[in-house]
Amino acid sequence: MLQIKNRETAKLSPLIVSALLATTLTACGGSSGGGSEQSSSSSESSSSESSSSEESSSSSSSEDNTDGAFSIDPDFQLYALADFPVGVAVSAAGESYSIFNHSDATQRQNVITEHFSELTAGNIMKMSYLHPQEDTFTFGDADELVGFADTNGMTVHGHALVWHSGYQVPGFMENYEGDFAAMLSDHVKGIVNHFESEFPGTVASWDVVNEAVDQGGENGFRQSLFYNELPPASEGDIPEYIRVAFQAARDTGAEIDLYYNDYDNTANDVRLAKTLEIADGLAEGDLIDGVGFQMHVYMTYPSLNDFENAFQEVVDRGLKVKVTELDVAVVNPYGGNAPDELEYDAALAGEQKQRFCDIARVYLETVPAELRGGFTVWGLTDDESWLMNQFRNATGADYDDVWPLLFNADLSAKPALQGVADAFQGNACNSDI
Ligand code: G3I
């Protein structure tokens, strides 16, 4: 089992960080759309919607930055309030919003080391980035990211060793003519072993397989390239490729936690049952340590009971629960909100603070300390979120911002950050800002 790395030995002094941050807490700039296109169809959809038409009322603890963003001046470091990894997905290398190349990269790094203890690569540790050709692994960009985490006493949650989606599937794996299971096993081992030998203990966990469930697929499993090559060995089994990938990761002997990760598996009973079927199949061979819930959620959907029930199912199996990709869009486009009606006012900022708090509270109340795999948000600042592209693609409407994360575009902290902190500190959740 894993140890949480000791942040205090490596990170910058909070005083230095605070001084650096102070220079960035200027009025919030206009937020642009997401910096990258995304092709994943994954999102939790529902017929419910959330919006607030209440008049805004500013409070002394919150600054209205005039363009609809509200900020707080945190007197805490979020990760220090938790005894489990508190993570953030980041862009790196030459991506938009890269923590190494963006114009505000230094400030971005400072906010990240101030409030988080774990990083997930939003993209650059996916399959084709690390393993573009059968005999070629390319670790340079990922090493820069993992090295940054290592230097700052943080861990990394690896994402993802096997995922069906789009361009990130290495071309050589398609129409592969050799032994597919052996190739997949080498893929997993090559990646896990690299980080384990270069940065021992830093990549502490992996999404070994991501998004294998599909209600429209065969027996509820997605008929991906991997499924087609290595389907269930017999009726009622989980797909063989999942077993092969987890077995390979386990066989490395690395002290890492192995997760099965999926979306829309809290309120959706069918998808939850399939997720649990995969977990049970892997648990028989002691091949899995936990289940990742992506949790791309909305203000009122799924319900807190849905989260509790889903987490409890995993806890009952003695497996870890990790919130792997949390974001809370303040609008549900599938519920019919028109983007020109969107206004992120003080009431909505307060409701979102309460929503983040409630989600974190349910996590803490349902998952015992020894099974808390971590709590990760999918991006740092609202303007970098993948959701605007997702909503545009899904509806054709122009969603400029859906304010789903914990920091404003100018890197100032939102009341939502206070919400998570309240839950981590055992304080009651409220919408006061
Ligand atoms: O910069 C690249 C370029 O080099 C590349 O050749 C080209 C390929 O289309 O476009 C650019 O890549 C984009 C990449 O983000 C980096 O910005 C891709 O088009 C774009 O599709 C990709 O979107 C990502 C998406 O996964 C697909 O990989 C999103 O940023 C990322 O947030 C999203 O994350 C997923 C999780 O991995 C799994 N769970 C759902 C979640 C949201 O969809």
Alpha helices in 7-87 (DSSP H): 14-22
**Domain-located, residue 249:** yes
Q: Look at residue 362 in the predicted model and tell me its pLDDT.
A: 99
Name which of 173-187, 355-369, 388-402 the model is least confident about. Answer: 388-402
Residue 68's pLDDT is 53
- 30 pLDDT more than 60: no
Structural domain includes residue 429 = no
Between the CA of 386 and the centroid of ligand 1 the distance, in Å, is 8
- Residue from 424, 403, 315, 289 nearest 359 by CA: 424
CA of 300 to the centre of ligand 1 (A): 27
Residue 67 forms part of a structural domain: yes
Residue 1, in any domain of the structure: no
Q: Find out whether 315 and 321 touch, Cβ atoms under 8 Å.
A: yes
263 CA: nearest ligand 1 atom? 39
pLDDT digits (tens, 9 = 90+) for 325-338: 999 999 998 877 67
Over the stretch 130-154, which tens digit does the pLDDT of each residue have?
999 999 999 999 999 999 999 999 9
For ligand 1, atom 40, the nearest C-alpha belongs to: 42
Asked whether residue 27 is domain-assigned, the answer is yes
Which residue's alpha carbon is at the smallest distance from atom 22 of ligand 1? 38
CATH of the domain at 180: 3.20.20.80
Ligand 1 centroid, distance to 284 Cα (angstroms): 34
- CA distances from residue 301 to 86, 230, 335, 406 in whole angstroms, order as listed: 23, 35, 11, 19
Pocket test for ligand 1, best of 377, 386, 402 (most atoms within 8 A of CB): 386
Ligand 1 closest atom vs CA 94: 1
In a domain, 2, yes or no: no
Range in 38-47, 115-124, 140-149, 370-379 with the lowest mean pLDDT: 38-47
CA dihedral (214, 216, 221, 227) in degrees, to 10, reads -110
Report the pLDDT averaged over residues 196-202: 98
Ligand 1 geometric centre to CA of 312 (Å): 31
The answer to the question of residue 11 being in a domain is yes
State the average pLDDT over residues 243-259.
98
Give the catalytic positions in this structure.
211, 325
128 lines ligand 1 (CB under 6 A): no
Residue 6: its pLDDT value, please?
55
Task: Write the CA distances from 100 to 25, 34, 96, 110, 188, integer angstroms.
Answer: 20, 18, 10, 12, 27
pLDDT of 40 higher than 50: no
In a domain, 64, yes or no: yes
Contact status, residue 421 vs residue 74, Cβ threshold 8 Å: yes
Is there a contact between 114 and 77 (Cβ–Cβ < 8 Å)?
A: yes
Residue 217 clears pLDDT 50, i.e. is over it? yes
Asked if 267 contacts 297 with a C-beta cutoff of 8 angstroms, the reply is no
Atom of ligand 1 nearest to the CA of 40: 43
In 3D space, the residue among 326, 293, 327, 290 whose CA is nearest the CA of residue 310 turns out to be 293
Residue 120 has pLDDT above 70, yes or no: yes
Residue nearest to atom 19 of ligand 1 (CA): 37
Residue nearest to atom 2 of ligand 1 (CA): 95
pLDDT (0 to 100) of residue 7: 59
- Contact of 30 with 123, CB cutoff 8 Å: no
Q: Whose CA is nearest to atom 1 of ligand 1?
A: 95
**Any ligand 1 atom below 6 A from CB of 399:** no
C-alpha of residue 37 to centroid of ligand 1, in Å: 6
Q: Which of 46-50, 156-160, 233-237, 406-410 has the lowest average pLDDT?
A: 46-50
Give the pLDDT confidence score for residue 343 in this predicted structure.
Answer: 87
- Given a cut of 90, whether residue 254 has pLDDT beyond it is yes
For range 49-66, the mean pLDDT: 34
Is residue 41 in contact with ligand 1, taking CB distance under 6 Å? no
- Counting residues of the chain whose pLDDT is more than 70, the rounded percentage is 84
The residue-averaged pLDDT of 100-117 equals 98
- pTM given for the model: 0.89
Q: Specify the ligand 1 atom closest to the Cα of 159.
A: 37
pLDDT for res 27: 26
Q: Kindly tell me if the per-residue pLDDT of 49 is higher than 50.
A: no
Structural domains of the chain, count: 1
CB 206 within 8 A of CB 158: yes
pLDDT tens digits for range 285-323 = 999 999 999 999 999 999 999 999 999 999 999 999 999
Q: In the predicted model, is pLDDT for residue 17 greater than 70?
A: no
- Which range has the worst mean pLDDT, 35-49, 291-305, 337-351, 377-391? 35-49
pLDDT of the residue at 338: 73
Chain-centroid distance, C-alpha 79: 15
Looking at ligand 1, which residue's alpha carbon is closest to its atom 9? 167
State yes or no: cis peptide before 170, omega within 30 of 0.
no
Gap from CA of 39 to ligand 1 centroid (Å): 7
- Res. 213 pLDDT band, cuts 50 70 90: very high
Query: To the nearest whole number, what is the mean pLDDT of the chain?
Result: 87
Q: What is the mean pLDDT of the segment spanning 409-432? A: 98
Q: Give the number of the atom of ligand 1 that is nearest the alpha carbon of residue 34.
A: 30
Minimum mean pLDDT range among 236-245, 328-337, 342-351, 386-395: 328-337
Of the listed ranges 88-92, 221-225, 342-346, the least confidently predicted one is 342-346
Residue 59 domain boundaries: 7-424
Kindly state if the Cβ of 83 falls inside 6 Å of ligand 1: no
Say if residue 36's pLDDT is above 60. Answer: no
